Structure 1
Amino acid sequence: MFGRTIDLGLGRKYAGRTKRLMNKDGSFNIVKRGSQPRLYDTYQYLNSLSVERLSVLILVIYLFINILFALLYLWCGVENLHGIDPDLPPFLNAFFFSVQTFTTVGYGVLSPYGVAVNLVVTIEAFLGWVGFAIITGVVFSRFSKPNVRILYSDNAVITPHGEGKTLEFRLANKRNNMLMEMEARVLLMVQDEKFERHYYNLKLEQASLHFFPLNWTIVHHIDEDSPLYNRTPAELEELRAEVLIMIKGYDESFGQYIHSRFSYLYDEILWNARFKKVYEADAEGETVFNLLRLHETEPVG
């Protein structure tokens, strides 16, 4: 029998078998419907984008605004822009003037003339002033946010331990910074014959660490109180079992708490296997920790 069910508020009834709940990057395979985006959500959306996507989005917005205002300057008449380069097409003259206005560079070569053009300049200068303030805030927030680089073993293992078994997996910090006050929480998610999801806490041998300089092997003893007790690989496959992991720690470099998520599906759990040692002492007595060996396992028995 399984233990007490934990409701995570993720929804529990499904029409059929589903994908894994949590991806390897910690994101969830959940599509929200019925929620309307709001202007106030823009900051959270931008802050959640990857560096590559955020950079591309900023570039696209920058080009779009300048092309739009270049068309407005053409509509007002490019002859109202003094100091244009006669060797350039009118659109490029208008575009470069828009860039100078939007970024407040103002080389002094180009200048507007007339009420219509100056009104457009006024609007664009205001947008540039506000836009760069917003972009600066988003970029600073995005790049100042701690970037967690915790490496998890490719597989979890179920290995004999004394008269019973244990579920184990390993993790390590890929950066050279110090992580402290580490905490781990592990859940088992299963689907029953009605395709309902249920969640169960897995009690850990050691759920916290004061320091995290080497690897951390997280161990769950499969005893009579464990939801994995007497379960077989075939049963876990039938239940589409997934081990959900949340790690929390304090990053002293940023002075902030960091979070990391990961999961193992039933077919990513190796049975009757154990992890190989990942560190050793060199000739000078220094501890050498090889991250490349974090995933190495060997059969037992």
Structure 2
Amino acid sequence: LGCIFMKTAQANRRAETLIFSKYAVVATRSGKLCVMFRLGDLRKSMIIGAAIRLQLVRKVTTPEGEVVPISQIDLAVDHPVGGSVGIKGIFLVSPIVVAHTIDAKSPLYHLSASGLQQEDLELVVVLEGVVETTGITTQARTSYLPDEILWGRRFVPIVGEEEGRYTVDYSKFGKTVKTHTPLCSARELAEAQSVPPQPSEGPTPLLSALRRRSFSRTVDVPDVRLKPPVRFESMDSISDL
């Protein structure tokens, strides 16, 4: 019994060393808007077969009038490019930035920077894998509310190279910087990019409107810190480490 208890205790503590950025960010990647967050593993022992799942939780009303108070929609995630609904077999040797591309298949496709803050939704992240030293499956979870999703920010690089070795600066794990990002929705951005060139001088009316409303500024927010894993059942705001 003592041996089993010790293994269980180690697995629980192991989940506490898996960390997420306190905030998610929205910025462009390869010309498309993406929602991104950073995760890392503080211990030297590896998580085997790590898999990430990202879900959008929101209230939905069907065309028939049925109200689904907690609708769970799987979102495709990319790292660093490509991918599917869930990333499997992640090598967490260093912190990584996981992204969801906001394309026509995304439920966030019609949301702009201002529209996002008015939505009642939550992005839930689940990381699961096997602890190398114990062989026990562990799971870490966190979530992001609209006010925890920063539009027009990007995570700063934290992996460097010194004397032929890679180093990680965890003091900057959650730090972000402003980046030039359209404030319009991904749908409006795609429409603007698909407008063919006009023979007349000057921008088209659609491009002019998007520039006035979407490229005026980036969002100014303070530097951020780490966000530890939380239990899914609470789905509340969490304090800094």
Q: Please give the residue correspondences for 1:151-162 in structure 2 after superposition, counting only pairs within 5 Å.
A: 151-162=19-30
Paired AA for residue 297 in structure 1 = T
Task: Report % sequence identity.
Answer: 23
The residue that corresponds to 1:202 in the other structure is 75
Task: Give the TM-score of the pair, scaled to structure 1.
Answer: 0.51
8 Å contact from structure 1 (residues 191, 239) kept in 2: no
The residue that corresponds to 1:268 in the other structure is 148
**Does 2:85 correspond to 1:239?**
no
Tell me which structure has the larger Cα radius of gyration. Answer: 1
The residue that corresponds to 1:215 in the other structure is 95
Q: Which runs of 5 or more residues in structure 1 are unaligned? A: 1-132
Call closer, same or farther: CA 1:145–1:163 in 2, change over 3 Å: closer
Take 1:163 and 1:137, find their aligned partners in 2: how far apart are those partners? 53
Take 1:187 and 1:212, find their aligned partners in 2: how far apart are those partners? 21
Q: Which runs of 5 or more residues in structure 2 are unaligned? A: 62-66, 80-86, 181-241
Paired AA for residue 55 in structure 2 = L
Task: Give the TM-score of the pair, scaled to structure 2.
Answer: 0.62
8 Å contact from structure 2 (residues 11, 137) kept in 1: no
By relative contact order (CA 8 Å, sep 6+), the higher-ranking structure is 2
Aligned residues: 166
Which 4+ residue blocks in structure 1 deviate beyond 6 angstroms?
Answer: none
Take 1:152 and 1:201, find their aligned partners in 2: how far apart are those partners? 19
- Deviation of 1:138 after TM superposition, in Å, equals 8.3
Take 1:295 and 1:225, find their aligned partners in 2: how far apart are those partners? 28
Q: What SS class does the counterpart of residue 115 from structure 2 fall into? A: helix
8 Å contact from structure 1 (residues 150, 173) kept in 2: yes
Call closer, same or farther: CA 1:210–1:140 in 2, change over 3 Å: closer
The residue that corresponds to 2:11 in the other structure is 145
Identify the match of residue 294 of structure 1 among 173, 177, 191: 173
Take 1:137 and 1:253, find their aligned partners in 2: how far apart are those partners? 14
Call closer, same or farther: CA 1:144–1:154 in 2, change over 3 Å: closer
Call closer, same or farther: CA 1:191–1:214 in 2, change over 3 Å: same
- Deviation of 1:210 after TM superposition, in Å, equals 4.3
**Does 2:47 correspond to 1:179?**
yes
Paired AA for residue 300 in structure 1 = T
Q: Which piece of structure 1 moves more, 168-177 or 232-241?
A: 232-241
Q: Which piece of structure 1 moves more, 238-247 or 142-151?
A: 142-151
Q: What SS class does the counterpart of residue 36 from structure 2 fall into? A: strand
